[in-house]
Amino acid sequence: MTAGPPPRMYDGRPVADRRAQRREEFLAAGVAVFGEHGYQSTSITALCRAAGLARSQFYEHFDNREDLLIAVYDMIQVETRQAVTAATAAVASGDAVGRAQAAVRAYAESIGRDPRRARIAHIEVVGVSERVERRRLEQRGLWMAFFEDQIRRALGPDFVPPGGFDAAVTGYLGALLALVQQWSTGDPRTDLAGITEVLTRFLVCLMTP
């Protein structure tokens, strides 16, 4: 079998690696600028300045600001689910309360420890456009499926919470987002242990037949 063509190189590095790095730099700039100044007040010029990259390089990855906002939002959601998955995996499968507590803390720390991430995830994506709203609802659906899967893993495949999964998880997500946003943006910031305790109690109630 013959080897494929060597990767394209630029300044000693594969071109694909440099493109991937630039995209990561734009994502980091999106977190910083959208999270500090808001989506509506942010220009592409400001994003490029924060990334330390050229405007032409921005358009190599994104068609407009909205594309970057969606990419940043998706990144935050994926990283937060990964954090919750890792946290619950470290708790014994039979410890439902421990898993609930680990999930809540991991969510709060991943999405709320940096107020900029919380602002983007909970505020800046609301009301931007129909396209962004569809993505926000898609991500909420993924979270609902994620929480249902986590609860069934803890309590068995036949478990159904009071009111059914749709109502129970929708209600819980509303409380989760509101309290994490309040904690993340509070000045002074309240103790995370208190928020975790409240949200854990809510979740345990839903996990009680």
Number of structural domains the chain divides into = 2
The answer on 73 and 151 residing in a single domain is: yes
The answer on 55 and 30 residing in a single domain is: yes
pLDDT at 187 over 80: no
pLDDT at 34 over 70: yes
Instruction: Quote the domain boundaries for residue 58.
Output: 9-62
d(CA 130, CA 198): 34
The answer on 123 and 42 residing in a single domain is: no
The answer on 173 and 89 residing in a single domain is: yes
Give 166 or 192, the one with higher predicted confidence: 166
- 147-181 confidence digits (pLDDT tens): 888 888 878 889 888 889 999 999 999 999 899 88
Distances (CA, A) of 78 to 53, 81, 146: 25, 5, 11
The answer on 185 and 147 residing in a single domain is: yes
- 55-109 confidence digits (pLDDT tens): 999 999 999 999 999 999 999 999 999 999 999 889 887 777 888 889 889 999 9
The answer on 58 and 93 residing in a single domain is: no
The answer on 115 and 58 residing in a single domain is: no
